[in-house]
């Protein structure tokens, strides 16, 4: 059971360090407002899958461009992490776009629309019934 706790701890540390490093150290003008939404680390600590979102961006070309910038910065980021986190082996970094956030936002707005439309319909029904039911 200890193994899983260790990978979770490493994932948390990586998420914190990468958030700072990406924001402060990568000087590529193509890089947007990257947020790290999650990190998972393989049990042997060989790989870290880093899930990112881009503030206000859902254009596929921009997402690909940002993933490319991060992929090219992998070596630099790993060397920086090696200085900040005491690990025998710093995991290989693999960046992915986190689509679950975008799907969540779409679902949320659909739910808001449905609720508003439902309220609107019920509001009309109440008026037709004279404001409430009396038996």
Q: Select the more confidently predicted residue: 18 or 128.
A: 18
- Average pLDDT of the chain is 86
The whole-angstrom separation of Cα 39 and Cα 93 is 10
Distance in angstroms (rounded) separating the CA atoms of residues 25 and 20: 8
More confident call, 118 vs 94: 94
Percent of the chain whose pLDDT exceeds 70 = 85
Nearest Cα neighbor of 35 from 25, 48, 22, 17 is 22
Q: Beta strand 34-41 with 92-97: parallel, antiparallel or unpaired?
A: unpaired
102 pLDDT higher than 80? no
- If pLDDT is split at 50, 70 and 90, which confidence band does 135 have? low
pLDDT of residue 108: 79
Token pair 């790993």 is found at 78
DSSP string, 34-73: EEEEEEEE-TTSSEEEEEEEETT---HHHHHHHHHHHHHT
Alpha-carbon distance of 103 to 95, in angstroms, equals: 19
pLDDT over 90 percentage in the chain: 60
Quick check: 25 pLDDT over 80? Answer: yes
**Residue 131: its pLDDT value, please?**
53
Give the start-to-end residue ranges of the domains of the chain.
Answer: 2-97, 99-135
CA distances from 71 to 48, 64, 103, 105, 107 (A): 13, 10, 24, 26, 30
Options 3.40.630.30, 3.30.300.20, 1.10.1740.10, 1.10.10.10; which CATH number does 2-97 get?
A: 3.30.300.20
Find the angle CA(94)-CA(61)-CA(79) to the nearest 5 degrees: 30
Give me the pLDDT at residue 130, please: 53
Q: What is the pLDDT of residues 44-92, one digit of tens each?
A: 999 999 999 998 777 889 999 999 999 999 999 999 999 999 888 899 9
């Amino acid at each position: 059971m200890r193994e899983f706790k260790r990978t979770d701890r490493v994932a948390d540390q990586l998420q914190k360090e990468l958030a700072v490093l990406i924001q402060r150290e990568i000087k590529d003008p193509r890089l947007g407002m990257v947020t790290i939404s999650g990190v998972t680390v393989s049990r042997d600590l060989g790989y870290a899958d880093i899930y990112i979102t881009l503030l206000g961006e859902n254009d596929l070309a921009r997402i690909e461009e940002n993933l490319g910038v991060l992929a090219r910065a992998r070596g630099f980021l790993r060397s920086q992490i090696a200085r900040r986190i005491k690990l025998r082996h710093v995991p290989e970094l693999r960046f992915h776009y986190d689509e679950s956030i975008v799907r969540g936002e779409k679902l949320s707005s659909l739910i808001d629309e449905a609720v508003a439309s439902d309220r609107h319909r019920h509001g009309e029904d109440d008026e037709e019934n004279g404001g409430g039911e009396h038996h």
